[in-house]
A = this chain, B = another copy of it.
Amino acid sequence: MGCKNCCSICLQCLFGYETNVMLVINNKGVGALFRLIQFLIIAYVAVYVCWVQRAYQDTDSVISSVSTKVKGNILTNSSAAGVHVWDVPEYVIPPQGENTFFVLTNVIPTLGQRQSKCPEIPSEVTKCESDSDCKEGYSEVHGNGVQTGRCVQYSDTIKTCEVQAWLSLAKVAEDFTVLIKNNVQYPKFKFRKRNILHHINSTYLKNCTFDRKTDPHCPIFRLGDMVTEAGEDFSVMALKGGIIGIFIDWNCDLDFPERFCIPKYSFSRLDNKNPENNVAPGYNFRFAKYYKTNESTETRTLIKAFGIRFDVIVFGMAGKFNIVPTIVNLGATLSFLSLVTAVCDWVMLTCMKDRDLYAKHKFIHLNQNGDSVPLVS
Chain A residues near B (Cβ < 8 Å): 12, 14-28, 30-32, 34-35, 48-49, 53, 55, 61, 63, 65, 67, 69, 87-90, 93-98, 100, 102, 179, 181, 183, 187, 194, 196-202, 205-206, 219-220, 243, 245, 247, 249, 270-272, 275-280, 283, 285-295, 298-299, 302, 309, 311, 313, 315, 322-324, 327-336, 338-339, 341, 344-345, 348, 354, 357-358, 361-368, 370, 372, 375
Contacts and interface: CB of A to CB of B under 8 A. Distances in A.
A285 to B, nearest CB: 5
A96 B94 contact: yes
Contact of A22 (B35, B280, B328, B364): B364
A194 B331 contact: no
A1 to B, nearest CB: 13
B65 A313 contact: yes
A38 B345 CA distance: 19
Nearest to A60: B317
13 contacts: A18-B22, A18-B363, A22-B364, A53-B324, A95-B287, A97-B285, A179-B280, A201-B277, A289-B290, A292-B292, A329-B332, A330-B332, A331-B335
A200 to B, nearest CB: 5
Looking at A26, A53, A348, the one whose CB has the most chain B CB atoms below 10 A away is A26
B245 A288 contact: no
A206 B333 CA distance: 56
Nearest to A181: B271
Contact of A299 (B48, B95, B187, B292): B292
Looking at A63, A194, A270, the one whose CB has the most chain B CB atoms below 10 A away is A270
Contacts of A293: 292, 294-295
B362 A21 contact: yes
Contacts of A283: 67
Contacts of A30: 17
B363 A22 contact: yes
B24 A17 contact: yes
A278 B24 contact: no
A202 B358 CA distance: 74
Nearest 6 A-B pairs (CB), nearest first? A331-B332, A15-B31, A205-B279, A291-B292, A334-B335, A331-B335
A295 B293 CA distance: 7
A341 B20 contact: yes
A344 B17 contact: yes
Contacts of A65: 243, 245, 270, 311, 313
Nearest to A279: B205
Given A199-B277, A361-B372, 7 more contacts: A23-B372, A67-B271, A197-B277, A292-B293, A328-B332, A330-B335, A331-B333
A197 B22 CA distance: 63
A218 to B, nearest CB: 10
A31 B53 contact: no
Contact of A205 (B53, B278, B344): B278
Contact of A17 (B18, B25, B288, B368): B25
B16 A31 contact: yes
